[in-house]
Chain A
């Protein structure tokens, strides 16, 4: 593994996040967990993740609002935000796309293998389009 990518997983469900963390770590990623938007904000202040997996329905501030914040601050341009949610209505997808989400996955319809493939795809795309340091 040439580089250890940092993934921020914003997911409030204990079991789902535990399983995601397990698979993503198995896949060789460094996974940071946030149970809500507040924790996610705190993390983002200190560090810059390579990709964010964002749930939408969470207690307190919801994923839409957080996405809007990231979008308004220009972060969605730099960091791919993948929505992983069990909300699956067209309107939700359209709104997230408008707010600059890189992808939208309805969790229950994907096996972890597929999710990891998607994560890899977005990280690679980011890598290829990122400015040379």
Chain B
């Protein structure tokens, strides 16, 4: 006991308890460390020095029990001070016996190990960390050198990076890790010298492995000194940066590529912008709320607005749309709102009126921008069709006038021939009549050609009116055949019509156009066949519900290479040219145009099982009404025809 007192160490205190744990002696040192004054604590149970946690666990009782059993027992636990604060304590309990060997009490020695514990923990932790850092990590080779540069310590990284085992390198010069030329140049020594002067040196370069291969390394050398600032060695930390170097180089390359790509993109962007600005069409983009987000120069010019005025405004506030009659189209029916609602592309050729400054005929197409199924905006392309309308009108007038001008002299010829043939100017002989007949026939052909040209022009310019009526196809085809019989009879040919009597095929179509189609096909079948020609006509429906009219002949047929071309304007197949020199090359072209206008189609095949041609006409059984696109065309045509109704005819040339 006296020994302990003599020790007089700051963080140790002692007191005495009886067999039951009541404090009987309290040293000054205890008062200092635990806080209680002697008078406060004597007679109290030593359990006041325990945390409530320990009390619950009955640590005081256990401690006494232990103390009875052992001469000396120790326990590391929290000790509670008078002010309720506590500290980690190393408690040593020593049994006190009387002369008879009976336990009279215990001497408790308490050491405040709080500081010590914390320091130890931290130390332990950092040492651990350091150990892990230095030993286990493989990315860095950590080598301790003595003052002369001989290796004294190394970690696992050395083995991993350099491939040396401990025995290989301990006590050897660090220069063995450098390539020979590096050492020869004195670079190795320079490293250490620099570290000596600046206490640190950093290098990047090739390092030598045990197997003689090189790797790219980053190396840091630190000079290590003791408290007296005397150099005791060096620490070298080496990292294999080959991969990093590679990555860096790759990164450089990628960056270059990226820059290049970006430049290209920028150029393309610039090109796009230039394109957007240079195209003749006005382009206006809106978001889902119909707010203008982009408007190109052309659109600004067309609509008479500046970009500043347009951006951020609802598109229908920028332009007002009028229909062909000059009636204003309500905003909600305009292209952009409609497309935003429907998500479908729309084309319109209404008139646009902009900001009270400009009024022009325009064709506009609005396309929805769809992202993940949602319409997020629109792009409207506006084309000023003023010039086109003018050209259209000029063309229409030209065709009208040209056909008129061509017809007039033909009319005169027709009339004069009629005059002669009527016999009112004197009787003519048979030969003279033959000549007049020839003149008349040629003249009629010429008139027909002019009519065809006019027809073609009208279809092409969309001016042909389609007059639909319910047509019984059996009766209709029978009549067409009846009309062609005289021509067939002239060459002793036959026309056979085959159809199922049960079918009552009626269709909504334009009988006038269909008659021209049938006449053309029947005439061709007869004219391009030898004498005693046979023409088969069938009427049927196919499995798609389409009505198929087939006209097949046993004539010269159509060369494979011409099968599609015969429907082109003015095209005539070689064998047709040889057989009949006076065809116009317009008949089948007109058939195709008519059928397209009627929502049907036409094609040709060789005759099955023999020479000859087979023409097929397919009509939608519900008539042309069932085809929306044609409906639109028909509607458009009506409007256009009305528009063209202006009489600025040029004087006759």
B409–A15 touching, CB < 8 Å: yes
A85 to B401: give the CA distance in the assembly, Å.
11
**Chain B residues near A113 (CB-CB < 8 A):** 418
Is there a chain A Cβ closer than 8 Å to B424's Cβ? Answer: yes
**Chain B residues near A15 (CB-CB < 8 A):** 409, 412, 415-416
A2 to B644: give the CA distance in the assembly, Å.
45
* B651 and chain A: residue at smallest CB distance: A59
**Chain A residues near B412 (CB-CB < 8 A):** 13, 15-16, 19
A13–B408 touching, CB < 8 Å: yes
Q: A12-B652, A58-B652, A109-B447 are in contact. Are A86 and B415 (CB under 8 A)?
A: no
Is there a chain A Cβ closer than 8 Å to B411's Cβ? Answer: yes
A106 to B393: give the CA distance in the assembly, Å.
22
A16 to B405: give the CA distance in the assembly, Å.
12
B416 shortest CB reach to chain A, Å: 6
* B401 and chain A: residue at smallest CB distance: A57
Interface size class of A (residues with CB under 8 A): 20 to 34
Please, what's the 1-or-0 string for A1-43, where 1 marks a CB less than 8 Å from any CB in chain B?
0000000000011011001101100100000000000000000
Binds B, one of A45-53, A71-79, A89-97, A124-132: A89-97
**Residue in B404, B458, B645 whose CB lies within 8 Å of A85:** B404
Is there a chain A Cβ closer than 8 Å to B178's Cβ? Answer: no
Please, what's the 1-or-0 string for B390-410, where 1 marks a CB less than 8 Å from any CB in chain A?
000000000011011101111
Q: A87-B400, A91-B644 are in contact. Are A108 and B411 (CB under 8 A)?
A: yes
A19–B404 touching, CB < 8 Å: no
* B464 and chain A: residue at smallest CB distance: A90
* A62 and chain B: residue at smallest CB distance: B649
**Residue in A86, A95, A106, A107 whose CB lies within 8 Å of B645:** A95
A124 to B368: give the CA distance in the assembly, Å.
64
A26 to B647: give the CA distance in the assembly, Å.
35
A57 to B401: give the CA distance in the assembly, Å.
9
Please, what's the 1-or-0 string for A98-133, where 1 marks a CB less than 8 Å from any CB in chain B?
000000001111011100000000000000000000
A27 shortest CB reach to chain B, Å: 10
A15 to B413: give the CA distance in the assembly, Å.
9
A33 shortest CB reach to chain B, Å: 15
A59–B407 touching, CB < 8 Å: no
**Chain A residues near B225 (CB-CB < 8 A):** none
**Chain A residues near B577 (CB-CB < 8 A):** none
- Chain B CB count within 10 A is highest, among A20, A64, A86, for A86
Is there a chain A Cβ closer than 8 Å to B170's Cβ? Answer: no
* A65 and chain B: residue at smallest CB distance: B647
A107 to B405: give the CA distance in the assembly, Å.
12
A16 to B328: give the CA distance in the assembly, Å.
49
A97 shortest CB reach to chain B, Å: 12
* A22 and chain B: residue at smallest CB distance: B419
**Chain B residues near A60 (CB-CB < 8 A):** 651
A109 to B408: give the CA distance in the assembly, Å.
11
B642–A91 touching, CB < 8 Å: yes
* B458 and chain A: residue at smallest CB distance: A89
B469 shortest CB reach to chain A, Å: 16
**Residue in B404, B424, B447, B641 whose CB lies within 8 Å of A87:** B404
Q: A19-B416, A62-B649, A111-B414 are in contact. Are A86 and B407 (CB under 8 A)?
A: yes
A108 to B465: give the CA distance in the assembly, Å.
21
B546 shortest CB reach to chain A, Å: 29
Having A12-B652, A19-B412, A91-B642, one finds 20 other A-B pairs with CB under 8 Å, namely A13-B411, A15-B412, A15-B416, A16-B408, A16-B415, A23-B415, A57-B401, A57-B404, A57-B649, A60-B651, A86-B403, A87-B404, A88-B403, A90-B465, A91-B641, A91-B644, A94-B645, A95-B647, A107-B408, A112-B418
The 3 closest A-B pairs by CB, nearest first: A19-B415, A86-B407, A15-B412
What are 13 residue pairs bridging A and B, where the CB atoms are less than 8 Å apart in the complex?
A26-B422, A26-B424, A85-B404, A88-B454, A89-B458, A90-B463, A94-B645, A95-B645, A107-B408, A108-B407, A108-B411, A109-B447, A112-B419
